[in-house]
Structure 1
Amino acid sequence: MNPHPLQTIKQLCVSSIALGAWLFASSATADNSELPKGHFLLPEVGNMVGQVYTVTAAEDDTLLDIARIHNVGYEEIRMANPDVSLWVPGEGTEVTIPGQFILPDEERTGIVINVAELRLYYYPDVEAGEAPRVETYPIGIGRDAYNTPLGITETTMRLENPAWYPPESIRREAAERGDPAPAVVPPGADNPLGKYAILLDIPGYLIHGTNQPDGIGMRASRGCIRMHPEDIESVFWRVPVGTQVNIIDSPIKVGWDTSGKGYIQAFTATDENAYGMDTLLNVVGLIEEHEGDNTHSANYEQVREVLERANGQIVPLS
């Protein structure tokens, strides 16, 4: 939700391929099962966290209800369950939860937002002796013509119960519809910012809550990053002012688990040229470089099929 141009972005950072790092992290001192949903210890080997699992829908569940409970967004749950009704899955229906993630190939500090993935990663500071960890949350981002800006910025302010000042573009569009928008929307149930907002050092852009949580996991905002109310509340008090925020566009991710097995994942690209032949060659080359002599683990046909489907599913490299 920002009408302003992007002149103030500190550094344009577009990445079409995310090759996950396989560096060692500090040794773990706790088990992932003890952490809240979406929180993981950084792996000592590989760059993957979490797991895919299934749950059984109750009579009154929608897929969006299930997605919110299990820390995934609209597109994630829809693509993982293409044959399941969004609004009436049906009692007893098995629903796949895409709860496994390949960490972005970026510095593991502060906040990393992958707009292609519709997901935020937060690497909180830990005390000496504590195991490093990552938290990940589904997000909503800017729709066409209001793309969320890319680049490295930082948080500048935290606002509890913020008022919302509709930008001129929204007020103009509302007036054209014959439904004039107010100059200011006070805190409350009608405020689209929700109860918490974190300002970025890009004028007009925020990470904030929402009064329309069904839109999390969609490209529906005017550029701001939306989070479920409980998710923004979870991080709000723990993200210091001055935290680095790295906004990337990485529709292709390659990962390795703790055993060294390779995986590939592709999302719908915002750049229509992202999946050209050069990209295919680069991805296969990166896989083979990591695999060393085991070049049978990467083949052009398999990678091409994954890029064509671009459904966000993590696929083992055969």
Structure 2
Amino acid sequence: MIKSFCAKLIVVSTMLFSVQVVAVEYALPAKDSRLIGENQYYVVPEGKLTLEAIADQFQLGLSNMLEANPGVDPYLPKPGSTLVIPHQLILPDAPRKGIVINSAEMRLYHYKKGTNIVEVLPIGIGQVGRDTPENWVTQVYRKRANPTWTPTKRTREIYAARGETLPDVWPAGPDNPMGLFALYVGNLFAIHGTNASFGIGLRVSQGCVRLREDDIEHLFNTVPVGTRVQFVNQPIKATVEPDGNRYLEVHQPLSETQEQFDSSEPLPLTLNKKITAVVANADTDSFVLKRLLEQRTGIPTRINSMQQAKNQDMVNPVDSE
């Protein structure tokens, strides 16, 4: 166990200073399973390496790293400290088709057509009051390289209140807030890049979905017009796996008001019928469940006892040769 843990640390530390990955790919599990991937561990090296830089290298947003590593310095994590790289996930409760955007965890899932692969990319979403859509099914209507940006009247008013004047149309180029590539999913919304090196995993946009430049270029080149796009808001995800184990993944829900956003008080969580059905079981570990709902680390955690899983294995024994 210790050797395996140390080996992961060595591999992950090496990865950070090698080639950056564009999109994390996962093999899709069977239809009755939604748990994918494994968490990794990374020892922060000496020097001034920012948490944003680490998140970038591991295809994560800043919020993913902050949730998984409570108490970490959001700017410069302590050298020698060990960080969890949260690459184990529960797939959102949505069809495995096209693109699924879960605003609550600030991740985009791309189910690659004709393959058994799902790509996962970190995103930035809309500010409070300029919220990214939820519970919406649409499609990619068109794509454009080097997009222009036409700020809405409301956006221009917001900038004007800060003493900034926006043009009627922001020309294409590296300074454009939409970046160099855009996938338009409605009259007012797009999945696009950014001209900033910060903000993925944060609420920073005017409502659109923002990706790092390498990521949006990858999507632009691989996602065809007509691709289904579904927006969801699922701070709690759950799965009952074939071996009988039940897992819960809990994220901080999105603030609905500026007052909530500015407050340090935890926001209330609502368990829908499907989530309640997963947790409402006699063998649910109430201590683990309470801890998950309080800590909200975004890390899938088993909530039932080992005995229940053992009983399931006895019902469905694995054949030996």
Structure 1 length-normalised TM: 0.78
1:176 & 1:107 partners in 2: Cα distance? 42
Corresponding residue number in structure 2 for 1:160? 145
Question: Aligned pair in 2 of structure 1 residues 260, 68: CA closer, same or farther (>3 Å)?
Answer: farther
Match of 2:100 among 112, 115, 121: 112
Tell whether 2:227 aligns with 1:239: no
**Rounded Cα–Cα distance in structure 1 between residues aligned with 2:268 and 2:72:** 29
User: What's the counterpart of residue 204 of structure 2?
Assistant: 220
Query: Deviations 1:114-138 (Å, cap 9, x if unpaired)?
Result: 1111111011112xxxx51100111
Residue of structure 2 in register with 1:275 after alignment: 269
**1:146 and 2:130 equivalent?**
yes
Which whole-Å CA distance do the structure 2 matches of 1:271 and 1:102 have between them? 22
Q: Given the alignment, which residue of 65, 68, 71 partners 1:77?
A: 65
Paired residues of 2:88 and 2:299 also in contact (CA < 8 A): no
1:171 is aligned, of 156, 160, 167, to 156
1:303 matches 2:264 = no
1:286 corresponds to 2:278: yes
> In the alignment, what sits opposite 1:51?
38
Alignment of 1:259-270 (within 5 A): 259-270=243-254
| Equivalent residues in 2 for 1:206-217, closer than 5 Å | 206-217=190-201
SS at 2:253 equivalent: coil
User: In the alignment, is the contact (CA less than 8 A) between 1:78 and 1:86 conserved in 2?
Assistant: yes
One-letter amino acid matched to 1:181: L
Which residue is 1:7 aligned to?
none
CA distances 1:174-220 after superposition (whole Å, capped 9, x unpaired)? 333333112222222321111110001x2110000111232111122
SS of equivalent residue, structure 1 residue 213 = coil
Give aligned pairs, total.
Answer: 271
Structure 1 SS opposite 2:140: strand
C-alpha distance in 1 between matches for 2:296 and 2:133: 22
TM-score scaled by length of structure 2: 0.77
Contact 2:68/2:299 (<8 A) preserved: yes
Which whole-Å CA distance do the structure 2 matches of 1:110 and 1:177 have between them? Answer: 38
Equivalent residue number for residue 264 of structure 2: none
Distance change (3 Å), C-alpha of 1:63 and 1:178: closer
- Partner SS, residue 55 of structure 1: strand
> Contact between 1:284 and 1:300, CA under 8 Å: does it hold in 2?
no
Q: CA deviation at 1:262?
A: 1.9
Instruction: List alignment gaps of at least 5 residues for structure 1.
Output: 1-34, 289-294
CA RMSD of aligned residues (A): 2.4
Q: Identity over the aligned pairs, expressed in percent? A: 34
Deviations 1:213-248 (A, max 9, x none): 321111221210011111111111111111110101
**Which 10-residue stretch deviates more, 164-173 or 137-146?**
164-173
- Which structure has greater helix proportion? 2
What amino acid is the match of 2:269? Y
Assess, with a 3 A threshold, how the Cα gap between structure 1 residues 283 and 96 changes in structure 2: closer, same or farther.
same
| Contact 2:155 2:206 survives alignment (8 Å) | no
- Conservation of the 8 A alpha-carbon contact between 2:239 and 2:278: no
State the match for 1:316 in structure 2.
Answer: 302
Pair 1:189-2:181 in alignment: no
> Secondary structure of 1:303's match?
helix
2:204 aligns to what SS in structure 1? strand
Alpha-carbon distance between aligned partners in 1 of 2:272 and 2:113, rounded to the nearest angstrom: 36
Q: Secondary structure at the match of 1:254?
A: strand
Counterpart in 2 of 1:68?
A: 56
Structure 2: any 5+ residue segments left out of the alignment? 1-20, 257-266, 305-321
Deviation per CA, 1:94-133: give whole Å up to 9, x if none.
Answer: 221011110112110000111111111011112xxxx511
For residues 115 and 36 of structure 1, do their structure 2 counterparts lie closer, same or farther at Cα, with a shift above 3 Å needed? closer
Structure of greater relative contact order (alpha carbons < 8 Å, 6+ residues apart):
1
